[in-house]
């Protein structure tokens, strides 16, 4: 049964219209030529795979900030949070996670707390792995107050092939760590802005799992981690 669960996982409901469209397209292609039908079937299978939404085991100890996305840590740097969130002009530590088209694309809330603002910003669609994508690309940004009064921000950023960001959070909403809050189609980046004096517990190049990988610990004085590929 455990092996079967790794293959058969829940599908996010936002994906069913796309899966249905791919399936209809596959059927129409099969009427034209059988090989085209098989290609359409393969594309439908990929669409099902893209919209998978597996359950995760979320660490619930107070003070932990977890990854909002599956992907790879592409950058850790000092940067200003999105101006639409009105969080001031002091740079914060930004952890950027790059998602490719094979990652799970459902985002999860990185911490307990209250949504202070949820803002959408229209923009371009440059490569999400580039630093300028945080300023130029389409994005949905969330300002989040933690139970201890400190604030974080997290941002969904569209990429080259992403053409739709869904953020289901509203200002004033209480969220739980690991709660599903959004989805990006079909390749993207997520940024997390950490509070002052909070060091990330991940390194550039590290693979993250949404809702499971601990990005930071508000109760820890551990220095920022470094890593190397081996």
Residues noted as catalytic: 188
3-state SS, the chain, equals: CHHHHCCCCCECHHHHHHHHHHHHHHHHHHHHCHHHHHHHHHHHHHHHHHCECCCCCCCCCCCEEECCCCEEEEEEEEECCCHHHCCCCCCEEEEEEEECCCCCCEEECCCCEEEEEEEEECCECCCCCCCCHHHHECEEEEEEECCCCCEEEEEEEECCCCCEEEECCCCCCEECCCCEEEEEECCEEEEEEECCCCCECCCCCCEECCCCCEEEECCCCCCCCCCCCC
């Amino acid at each position: 049964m455990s092996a079967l669960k790794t293959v058969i996982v829940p599908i996010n409901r936002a994906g069913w219209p796309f899966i249905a469209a791919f399936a209809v397209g596959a059927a129409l292609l099969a009427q034209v030529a059988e090989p085209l039908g098989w290609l359409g079937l393969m594309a439908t299978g990929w669409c099902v795979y893209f919209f998978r939404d597996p359950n995760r085991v979320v660490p619930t100890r107070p003070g932990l900030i977890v990854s909002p996305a599956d992907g790879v840590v592409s950058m850790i740097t000092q940067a200003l949070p999105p101006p639409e969130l009105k969080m001031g002009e002091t740079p914060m530590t930004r952890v950027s996670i790059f998602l490719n088209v094979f990652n799970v694309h459902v985002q999860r809330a990185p911490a307990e707390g209250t949504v202070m603002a949820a803002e959408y910003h229209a923009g371009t669609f440059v490569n999400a792995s580039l630093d300028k994508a945080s300023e130029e690309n389409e994005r949905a940004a969330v300002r989040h107050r933690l139970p201890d009064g400190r604030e974080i921000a997290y941002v969904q950023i569209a990429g080259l092939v992403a053409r739709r960001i869904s953020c289901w959070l509203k200002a004033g909403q209480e969220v739980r760590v690991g709660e599903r809050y959004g989805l990006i189609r079909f390749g993207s980046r997520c940024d997390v802005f950490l509070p002052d004096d909070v060091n990330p517990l991940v390194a550039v190049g590290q693979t993250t799992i949404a809702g499971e990988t601990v990005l930071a610990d508000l109760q820890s004085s551990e220095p920022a981690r470094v890593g190397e590929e081996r």
